[in-house]
Homo-oligomer: A and B are copies of this chain.
Amino acid sequence: MTVPDEITTPDVMIDVEVLDRNIARMASATRSRGVKLRPHAKTHKVLEVAAKQLAAGAVGLTVATIGEAEVFAKDGVEDIFIAYPLWVGVRQAERLRRLAETARITVGVDSAESAIYMGTNLGADAGKIAVRVELDSGHHRSGVHPGSAVAVALAAADAGLDVTGVFTFPGHSYKPGMPRLAAGEEDAVLRQAAEALTSAGFTLLELSGGSTPTALLTGKTAATELRPGVYVFGDAQQLELERCSPEDIALTVASTVVSHHKTGPDEPGRFIIDAGSKILGSDRAPWATGYGRLLDYPAARIIALSEHHATVQWPAGAVLPERGQRLRVIPNHVCLTMNLVDEVSLVKSGTFSGTWAVAARGRNS
């Protein structure tokens, strides 16, 4: 597929047919595993994509911030989980209160201190906010060990909050060979925490887990709900982790070759495209082969990235693309790309078909 003429590079381009297929596949996969799907909307931040996910059977949305929740709640989404250990001061409490007027709002908590602080600031409204205790399943970011979950849950209940479950993010699944191992660890901590909390008298509704690399694995899981995000678009990380195929890539950054370097006939060729870190994002895992991939040229590598330049290394001996040629780049981490643009271009069967606003872009707080 070429980049439609209507698109000025660099620009984010979404193949709506591939997107629809990805949404349907994850909906069907989670249904057949008997788990609920609560997709993470921080990946796309687009109202139209959220609507497609909900229409396909998602029970609600996951978001990372109160600001993101506000955008989707305003659009009518009625069940939102802010999967983050929020520190809820007076202002955050007021915003949560307002959100709870139209939506069922759940937030993360990973310490007695933050539960007590949140409960105090919510005051009489504490019971309107559901909380889930965050568990560390091996990613070692936020979250507690399952053995500490009871203490946090008791503090939250004492603070008047409605404890409705636990959650974890197996972020250590983002390494070659790790998805199945991380899924096993996720399973174990969810199971352990559920047992401990049940023994302590809690009635747990949801055990929430899941990342894109682990969500499509088959087999039994202790989770009752999964929260993958990236699956809607795919990206170079998922591709290099073999969690998706080139046909599953729904989002690319349309770019133009702007500059060539002359190298010897036996050396790999190098050229510059106009998509840099200000549209691709600059995440690069230690195991990544570069700063993104070229969808139509699997052997090409992006070896350097500036704000508006990507340096592409071309296979030795192959003819370099002409200046002016338009190439589709797959970003390493699509959540960062979507957070860099206010609008995306849509393509259907290779034809430009409109734009979507990235409604929750930049809602960091």
Contact = CB atoms under 8 A, between A and B. Distances in A.
Contacts of A101: none
Closest 5 CB pairs of A and B: A142-B259, A64-B308, A8-B365, A87-B258, A282-B283
A107 B110 CA distance: 53
Contacts of A324: 87, 89, 113, 117
Nearest to A12: B364
A362 interface: yes
A259 B364 contact: no
Contact of A260 (B86, B111, B260): B111
Contact of A339 (B85, B140, B258, B340): B340
21 contacts: A64-B307, A84-B258, A84-B274, A84-B308, A85-B259, A85-B272, A86-B258, A87-B274, A89-B324, A113-B324, A117-B324, A141-B306, A277-B281, A281-B282, A282-B282, A307-B335, A307-B336, A339-B340, A340-B364, A341-B362, A341-B364
Interface in A297-313: 304, 306-309, 311
A307 B8 contact: no
A323 B278 contact: no
A279 interface: yes
Interface string A3-18: 0000011110000000
A309 B141 contact: yes
Interface string A339-365: 111100000000000000000001011
A141 B313 CA distance: 12
A171 B306 contact: yes
Which of A84, A85, A258, A304 has the largest count of B CB atoms less than 10 A from its CB?
A258
A114 B258 contact: yes
Number of identical protomers? 2
Which of A11, A257, A307, A362 has the largest count of B CB atoms less than 10 A from its CB?
A307
Contacts of A86: 258
A170 to B, nearest CB: 13
Contact of A277 (B9, B272, B307, B336): B336
Interface residues of A, number: 55
Contacts of A171: 306
A256 interface: yes
Contacts of A278: 335-336, 339, 362, 364
A140 B261 contact: yes
A105 to B, nearest CB: 17
A237 to B, nearest CB: 13
A86 B272 CA distance: 11
A65 interface: yes
A31 B258 CA distance: 34
A365 B10 contact: yes
Contacts of A110: 259
A229 B145 CA distance: 45
A220 interface: no
Interface string A118-160: 0000000000000000000000111100000000000000000
A87 B8 CA distance: 11
